[in-house]
Amino acid sequence: MNKKQQEIWDYLKCHALGINNAIHIEVLADALNIPSQGTNNDNVRAWITSLVRKHYKPIGTCNDGVFVILTDEECEEAAKFVERDTRSTAIRRNGIYTPE
């Protein structure tokens, strides 16, 4: 995990626990002073995708943004949100966040 990914993960654990606390990508990028690249914070989106697929972080997406998955219901809702994408398998595999 690179430094920016660690910052993103740490921020989500503090500010986006559960689907009801989902935050939009642009809010996350602004909070971490990450300049937007591409058309829609593509750099942040790519780091989050990598956190899910390669680093096994329980991060879900919904209409309201991204969040740390806390329940089975949130896991399923996040997986269904990206069902046409291979992220759904990674979301289900990563499961539910447990504080370290």
pLDDT value at residue 85: 62
pLDDT value at residue 86: 65
For residue 10, is pLDDT > 90?
yes
> Where along the chain do its domains lie?
3-94
pLDDT value at residue 23: 97
Burial of 54 (0-12, 13-18, 19+ CB in 10 A): exposed
Residue of higher predicted confidence among 70 and 89? 70
The pLDDT > 70 percentage for the chain reads 97
Model confidence, pTM: 0.82
- Domain formed by 3-94, architecture: Orthogonal Bundle (1.10)
